[in-house]
Structure 1
Amino acid sequence: MEKQKWLSRLNMVFFTPCLLFSNISSVISFEKLLAYWPIPVFYICFALVSFTLVHVICRLVRLNSEFRGFVTACVMFSNTNSLPIAVITSLAVSEAGKVLYWDADDTQEAVAARGISYTLFYAIFGNLLRWSYGYRLLQIPIREEEEEEIGYGTMTSDYGTSSGSDSMISSSRPHSPVLFSGRSSKYDGNHSRSTSVNETSGLLSSFPTLPSDAADDQQQQDDQSSMKTHVKRKMATWARSIHQFMTPPLYAAFLAIAVGLIPPLRQLMYDTFVHASVTLAIQSCGKAAVPIILVCLGAQLTDILEKEMQNHETNYSRKAVGTAIGIRMILAPLVVIPIVLAFVRYGSAYAGVAADPVFSVMMIIVGCTPTAINLVQISQVTGAFEDEMLHLLFWSYGVVCVPVFTLVVFAALNIVDTFL
């Protein structure tokens, strides 16, 4: 088990970042951002739909709050790489693939290439959110009882601190009148003021003149030093906050976006000697990410029967798994297909890709795929929801995916055949 977790952690820290870097940097560019602008819009719409469905359904079924993060991650983050690419590659070489031809000169290779390009571009945004927000969702939940204990302990410590502070303040109060009484004088009126002025002038005349300019410079230097220290602390706090939010795959994704969008960096990575020595090495390491995920998944499946869960946890986990599968595989397609259909009918005036049958089919496919397999990698690293994730992936891919996804693909082909 420890070796399995070590391999999953190694995969997340090294091989998966290599995979994301090679996939994103080779696909993204300013030209594709302008041409494929509906893809991020679709991703945002699908993510908002999934998030809304999760919170509505979880309240209706009264799902325990500990499992809502698990259900949210499983519904929001679907398979955007292996399954859609396999489906479009198969459709392109089949008889049904002729429906996907954009014009008379279109070919099977062009259909497959466009479908893969759309899928990889869509996966960019999915990976960015999956390895940031999704990683936070799949953390070990804090039970309600523990939260109450933590809150009670905090209140107790605060009460003790405030009592101590009050006692310190009250003990210092008797000295305050002495300070004020020391400032009182038996002289008043003009006599008092003249005496003070005379004494002050005498004292000033008896001492040498102080270097006021040097004192001002020293004060200014101290202020600048304190300001620099304050700025450094703020920057360090800001950097720590960002680092806590980031993950190694997310760092790789942002680096890949920078390489793809900055022409000199893209030329350096793909058109010079660096391509053969560095870029191809990164691509080779990235190809090992998915097999390692499957190896860890298979190793964990062999242990699933040996683990016994408590009865109340079994009931809650079964409800969470069933809720996630129902939303991801049944409710989500019922919302995704009408959204894409509306874009097919009315989007040709705003985007050229709306007339491409491959684009419409791929948007339906990526919006209706099962839960992403690499979520099990996150669960293994964080140690949260491991058994629930295994059950969900088994039922999603082994039982529900084939009949439901077949209907989804037929519906997508029927839509493009009717309206395009």
Structure 2
Amino acid sequence: MLELILASLQVDYAFVVAFCISIIQVMVIVFIGAVLSKLGYMDNDKQKWLSKLNLTFFTPCLLFSNIASVISVERLIDFWSIPVFYVLFVSISWTLSYIACSLFRVENHHKRFVSACVMFSNANSLPVAIIASLAVSEAGKKLYWDSDDSQSSISARGISYVLFFGLFGNILRWSYGYNLLQQKNEEEDNSSVETLRNSQDEESALSERFNRQCYGSTSSSSSGSHDTMVSDHSAKLSDASVSLKSRLLKLLQSIQQCMSPPLYAALLALFVGLIPSVKHVFYKGFLHQSFTRAIDSCGKVSVPLVLVCLGAQLKHIQETQPSQDKRYRKPVFLSIFVRMILVPLCVLPLVFSFHKWGGVFSKLAEDPIFIVSMVIVGCTPTAINLAQITQVNGAFEQEMLSVLFWSYGIFCIPICTLVVFLALWMVST
């Protein structure tokens, strides 16, 4: 095993360089955002405006392009193991974050933050860059599926696996994750509970009044009592109808809180991708050259805008809040530790077991680039898009910037490089 790892270290030097360059590209765009903020082009209000514009238009375009072009009924059948892996990875991440927050007694306010950072990893831009670099390096020759395979086909398959995995992450991130990172406090929760109690008290008071009026009046005439009972019964039915409508409205409001423009775009992309006739119109019909390509072009703006705003945020917080609040250190540390250390320790043996014994259930277990892709998407740092969500919602901004800075600036290169080497060792054995 040691000899294989050392051989990988010698052969894959070009891959390490390419991987470092992909991280440096991210840092350069972030640095440009900080410079623009320093020069006065991006103050805090402009950052929030740009983030909201990105969230409302450019990010939905990106999600529509990535999901609609990849998803299909055939791929759902052939790639059934990818959503299974996603569910397993998310379940493991949520469980680990819950246990860590309980052990370290994290405040309820920050439990949602830690869960979001651990559950939602970078499942698009960074894995695609790693696989594209890996496929054209010397290490790519170890990933041949058969004798007719080539490095270009390895790259195409690996990127398709990553994008297919990423669409499930995008849907959950922009629904449940968006809701996790919203500004909430205990007073709102208590007020909602008090409102519910008051409504229940009113309902029981109405019920008691109804019973008294129906059965407690013995001195009135029978006809008058009958009219009163009918009238009060109608009022009771009316109150019950109003109560049912209010509960339905609360349910719709709860669903609406989980929705966001990117999630609407993802659902529309699923509709387009899963219906062959509609997908043909968008990708092979008259809409392809005009509408679809325009959406693709707008989607390419999303990630650079996120990184520019991220750099401007870092500069703004450095100027306004030079010393980090001690309350943030524990959730930031736990988010990085669980996401970058504990989750990979669970992902690696899980994927290795599938590679070893999963060939009976899926032919993808025999594809080396699939195994490497699943390891990569399961071990990447926290998603950069979460910074966009925190800025738009006005919650957890400083904590998220700290997590992203330490994750990408310090831990990403050594940990992800080690993880890729272990994945290459898996497929070599």
Query: TM-score if structure 1 supplies the norm length?
Result: 0.80
Q: Cα offset for 1:295?
A: 1.0
Which residue in the other structure is 2:102 paired with?
59
Q: Cα offset for 1:265?
A: 0.4
1:261 aligns with 2:258: no
Aligned residues of 2:178 and 2:258 also touching (Cα < 8 A): no
- Looking at structure 1, the residues matched to 85 and 103 of structure 2 have their Cα atoms a distance apart, in angstroms, of 27
Which residue in the other structure is 1:199 paired with?
none
Give CA-to-partner distance per residue, 1:50-86, whole Å, 9 cap, x none. Answer: 0000011111111111101000000000001111011
What SS does the aligned partner of 2:360 have?
A: coil
What are the within-5 Å matches in structure 2 for residues 7-22 of structure 1? Answer: 7-22=50-65
User: Aligned to 1:306, which of 316, 319, 323?
Assistant: 319
Distance of aligned partners of 1:414 and 1:13 in 2 relative to their CA distance in 1, 3 Å threshold: same
Which residue in the other structure is 1:2 paired with?
45
- Looking at structure 2, the residues matched to 151 and 14 of structure 1 have their Cα atoms a distance apart, in angstroms, of 33
Which residue in the other structure is 1:183 paired with?
221
The gaps in structure 1 that reach 5 residues or longer are 185-227
Give CA-to-partner distance per residue, 1:118-152, whole Å, 9 cap, x none. Answer: 00000010001000000011012314xx3697489
Which residue in the other structure is 2:302 paired with?
289
1:99 aligns with 2:142: yes
Q: Which amino acid aligns with 1:358?
A: I
- Looking at structure 2, the residues matched to 355 and 374 of structure 1 have their Cα atoms a distance apart, in angstroms, of 33
What are the within-5 Å matches in structure 2 for residues 175-324 of structure 1? Answer: 180-183=218-221, 239-308=252-321, 314-324=325-335
What are the within-5 Å matches in structure 2 for residues 73-152 of structure 1? Answer: 73-143=116-186, 146=187, 150=191
Distance of aligned partners of 1:309 and 1:180 in 2 relative to their CA distance in 1, 3 Å threshold: farther
Distance of aligned partners of 1:236 and 1:102 in 2 relative to their CA distance in 1, 3 Å threshold: same
User: Aligned to 2:339, which of 311, 328, 332?
Assistant: 328
Distance of aligned partners of 1:231 and 1:267 in 2 relative to their CA distance in 1, 3 Å threshold: farther
Distance of aligned partners of 1:238 and 1:402 in 2 relative to their CA distance in 1, 3 Å threshold: same
Q: Which amino acid aligns with 2:96?
A: L
- Looking at structure 1, the residues matched to 151 and 125 of structure 2 have their Cα atoms a distance apart, in angstroms, of 19
Q: Which amino acid aligns with 1:409?
A: V
Distance of aligned partners of 1:295 and 1:65 in 2 relative to their CA distance in 1, 3 Å threshold: same
- Looking at structure 2, the residues matched to 21 and 248 of structure 1 have their Cα atoms a distance apart, in angstroms, of 11
**Max radius of gyration: which structure?**
1
Aligned residues of 2:310 and 2:387 also touching (Cα < 8 A): yes
Aligned residues of 1:70 and 1:138 also touching (Cα < 8 A): yes
Give CA-to-partner distance per residue, 1:341-383, whole Å, 9 cap, x none. Answer: 1100111011011100000000000000000000000000100
Q: Cα offset for 1:263?
A: 1.0
Which residue in the other structure is 1:32 paired with?
75
1:371 aligns with 2:382: yes
- Looking at structure 2, the residues matched to 232 and 387 of structure 1 have their Cα atoms a distance apart, in angstroms, of 40
Q: Cα offset for 1:308?
A: 2.8
Distance of aligned partners of 1:243 and 1:384 in 2 relative to their CA distance in 1, 3 Å threshold: same
- Looking at structure 2, the residues matched to 236 and 58 of structure 1 have their Cα atoms a distance apart, in angstroms, of 34
Distance of aligned partners of 1:43 and 1:148 in 2 relative to their CA distance in 1, 3 Å threshold: closer
Percent identity over the alignment is: 54
Give CA-to-partner distance per residue, 1:267-286, whole Å, 9 cap, x none. Answer: 11111111111100110110
Number of equivalences: 365
What SS does the aligned partner of 1:348 have?
A: helix
RMSD: 3.2
- Looking at structure 2, the residues matched to 347 and 102 of structure 1 have their Cα atoms a distance apart, in angstroms, of 16
Aligned residues of 2:179 and 2:257 also touching (Cα < 8 A): no
Q: Which amino acid aligns with 1:400?
A: F
Query: TM-score if structure 2 supplies the norm length?
Result: 0.78
Q: Cα offset for 1:315?
A: 1.9
Q: Cα offset for 1:248?
A: 0.7
